[in-house]
Amino acid sequence: MRLGILGLGRNWQSLRNALRRSKLWTVAIVFDQVHHLATQAALPLGAKVAESVWQFLSWSGVDAFIYCDSQWFGLWPLEVALQIPQHAEESGASSRMGLQVEHTTNESRTPATHYRPWLCYVPPSVLDAADQRILTRLAEVGFPIFFDWPEWHTLPLATLKKRVRHRLGRLLWASAECFARPNALGYPSLSQSSASQRWHTWWLSGLNMLTQLTGSTAELLQTHVYRFDHETGVGIVHLTLKTSEHQTPAQIRVVETPDADIPRFADRSSRDAAIQRARAWQLRLIGENGELVIHGPGYLEWRTSRGRTLETCPHQRSPWRISLRRFHRHVQRGDWQQAPLLDLARYCQQLAQLSS
């Protein structure tokens, strides 16, 4: 599968290693707002360098795109991609990747069209109304895109979700807490952003994890921001996690402090951007039958009537490889559910309203 890579920052440095070890992918073209970075990345890959976003998205020799690292223009490339559908008969990608393309009847001479799939590691900007509008539009047209937070592939989510339900019973409380410096989570543009923008990005990451782990959707209720000085602050979101059976109160708390690089919260032994971001988090789930505390990606602490149990979850595979494999399955199956997109747009809208 031939890839187009957009954005060549810290995520790309980690993703590049996963691509090198895989036989499923080749990089056909790259683009970055800093042109010399794109040239440096393209040379060892034998890839082309696009001169503009439009040229990048119009390149015919690409089967799928990965928006790897944020650029100054946010989700605008996705809006441009909506204007560049491919004719099914002009591209062999649909048959090669198993995409389901809607064919036309004999009476209609207008060729069927499809959009090439996207994997997006760039979170939408909560404070940008254009990003919210783009998300809604993507869902309306059934655009094949998968937003992903690779830091949470450091945990065995599918297995852990079942164990939480079995061992804890009905959830009574859930929380996610993040300790980080302004640039600790590896989003290149965040260190230059306001604290509010950084907290919104971290809140979305914690929200993604809580909803996945509990199999729920969320209703955001309140946000609180406390500034102690120009280096230290706390941002809190109160929310409710909803399933078909019950509702659970929850909280996401982000602490921004220059002391967040102590070993408990930062993994200096790993340069992987996703693992470093996961190290900043601690999650707590309290149920009728006990409690689970997740210390970053590596440690689980169960507290039940049988006592206290510590487990380790070594991340044997790169979270980026797991993300790529999930994306490949989405492409093969043509499985592009629009509910997650609509939920993401709704969360962004609620956060913007609560923060105004």
pLDDT digits (tens, 9 = 90+) for 38-57: 999 999 999 999 999 999 99
Q: Is the pLDDT of residue 271 over 90?
A: no
Please report the domains of the chain, with CATH numbers, ordered by start residue: 2-149+322-355 (3.40.50.720), 152-316 (3.30.360.10)
pLDDT (average), residues 71-88:
83
Taking only the tens place, the pLDDT of each residue in 84-138 is 876 433 444 444 444 443 433 344 333 445 899 999 999 998 888 889 899 999 9
CA torsion through residues 22, 61, 330, 128, sign = positive
Length in residues, the chain: 356
> Which of 38-42, 47-51, 258-262, 280-284 has the least mean pLDDT?
258-262
What does the alpha-carbon distance between residue 211 and residue 161 come to, in Å, rounded to a whole number?
10
Q: Is 105 exposed, middle or buried (0-12, 13-18, 19+ CB in 10 A)?
A: exposed
Q: Is the pLDDT of residue 63 over 60?
A: yes
**Confidence (pLDDT) at 78:** 95
Number of neighbouring beta carbons within 10 Å of residue 162 = 12
Structure tokens at 96: 């090669």
Structure tokens at 33: 């707002």
Q: List 248's β-bridge partners, or say none.
A: 241
Structure tokens at 314: 């070594």
The span from the first CA to the last CA of the chain, in angstroms, equals: 43
The DSSP H or E segment spanning 293 is: strand 290-295
**Confidence (pLDDT) at 277:** 86
pLDDT (average), residues 163-175:
95
**Confidence (pLDDT) at 86:** 67
Q: Is the pLDDT of residue 265 over 80?
A: no
Q: Is the pLDDT of residue 346 over 80?
A: yes
Tell me the average pLDDT of the chain.
84
Q: Is the pLDDT of residue 173 over 60?
A: yes
Question: 3-state secondary structure string, 251-285?
Answer: EEEEEECCCCCCCCCCCCCCCCHHHHHHHCEEEEE
What order of strands is seen across the sheet that includes strand 2-6?
48-49, 26-31, 2-6, 64-67, 118-120, 145-147
**Confidence (pLDDT) at 181:** 73
pLDDT (average), residues 53-73:
93
What does the alpha-carbon distance between residue 178 and residue 184 come to, in Å, rounded to a whole number?
10
What does the alpha-carbon distance between residue 90 and residue 104 come to, in Å, rounded to a whole number?
14
> Which of 141-150, 269-278, 319-328 has the least mean pLDDT?
269-278
**Confidence (pLDDT) at 256:** 84
Percent of the chain with pLDDT over 70: 83
Taking only the tens place, the pLDDT of each residue in 216-253 is 999 999 999 887 766 788 999 999 999 988 999 999 99
Structure tokens at 350: 């609620």
**Of 348 and 298, which is predicted with more confidence?**
348
- Band (pLDDT 50/70/90 cuts) for residue 81 is very high
> Which of 27-36, 153-162, 200-209, 312-321 has the least mean pLDDT?
312-321
Residues 6+ apart with CB under 8 A from 322: 150, 153
- Band (pLDDT 50/70/90 cuts) for residue 270 is low
What does the alpha-carbon distance between residue 226 and residue 234 come to, in Å, rounded to a whole number?
5
What does the DSSP 8-state code read for residue 26?
E
Q: Please state the pTM of the whole predicted model.
A: 0.87
Percent of the chain with pLDDT over 90: 54
Instruction: State how far Cα 336 lies from the chain centre.
Output: 15
